[in-house]
């Protein structure tokens, strides 16, 4: 089901774009999972390997000539990468920013990047910004899954999201993915139908 959703999002980007050059350049969109406990919010962001490479290149993370470090280690140690992730993914509550702390980037492809946010009050509704990679190409998307679901794009990088506590492992994610699949596939079908009518 997850592959179906990601494939549908790519199709939407392709059919909805004014030109092929505006399509998503590196495959399926990144994902972000959010869980909440009281006043704390944990955001885990996952991106594909080539997306991490593009990000590192744009921030100069690979400029270090050392041959003893792998590309992943250079990303992990780059202050520019750390600043970028904290600037491009934020949370605020009732107009007040929730300070975020980026965890160690030990396994970029396996565990992704984790940011822990601490908000002023118990979390029910917050504004989440997921704009990573969108400055590199406006065709990038991020799918929010977990206690809520949403699609973040270059035109809607920041959205108000209502949350309801901690995500239940193995239960919330399939529900979010299934609901989102129906919405996205419906939009894709509408776009394709509209184009066919224009052609006719």
The pLDDT tens digits for 93-108 are 999 999 999 999 999 9
In a domain, 142, yes or no: yes
In a domain, 134, yes or no: yes
The pLDDT tens digits for 61-86 are 999 887 899 999 999 999 999 999 99
- Cα–Cα dist 3/8, whole Å: 8
Burial status of residue 160 (CB atoms within 10 A of its CB: 0-12, 13-18, 19 or more)? exposed
The pLDDT tens digits for 7-60 are 344 333 333 333 333 334 657 899 999 999 999 999 999 999 999 999 999 999
In a domain, 92, yes or no: yes
In a domain, 177, yes or no: no
In a domain, 17, yes or no: no
* Residue 149: other Cβ atoms inside 10 A: 20
In a domain, 133, yes or no: yes
How many domains, in total, are found in the chain?
Answer: 1
Domain encompassing residue 79? 27-167
């Amino acid at each position: 089901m997850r592959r179906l959703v990601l494939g549908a999002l790519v199709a939407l980007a392709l059919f909805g774009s004014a030109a092929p050059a505006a399509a998503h350049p590196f495959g399926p969109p990144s994902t972000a999972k959010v869980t909440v406990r009281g006043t704390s919010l944990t955001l885990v962001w996952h991106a594909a390997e080539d997306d991490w490479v593009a990000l590192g290149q744009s921030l100069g993370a690979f400029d270090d000539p050392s041959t003893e470090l792998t590309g992943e280690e250079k990303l992990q140690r780059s202050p520019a990468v750390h600043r970028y992730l904290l600037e491009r993914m934020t949370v605020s509550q009732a107009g007040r920013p929730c300070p975020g702390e980026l965890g160690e980037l030990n396994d970029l492809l396996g565990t992704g990047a984790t940011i822990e946010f601490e908000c002023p009050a118990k979390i029910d509704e917050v504004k989440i910004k997921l704009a990573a990679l969108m400055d590199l190409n406006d065709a990038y998307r991020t799918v929010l899954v977990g206690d809520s679901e949403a699609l973040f794009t270059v035109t809607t990088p920041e959205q108000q999201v209502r949350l309801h506590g901690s995500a239940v492992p193995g239960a919330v994610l399939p529900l979010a993915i299934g609901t989102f699949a129906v919405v996205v596939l419906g939009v894709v079908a509408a776009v394709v139908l509209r184009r066919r009518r224009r052609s006719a």
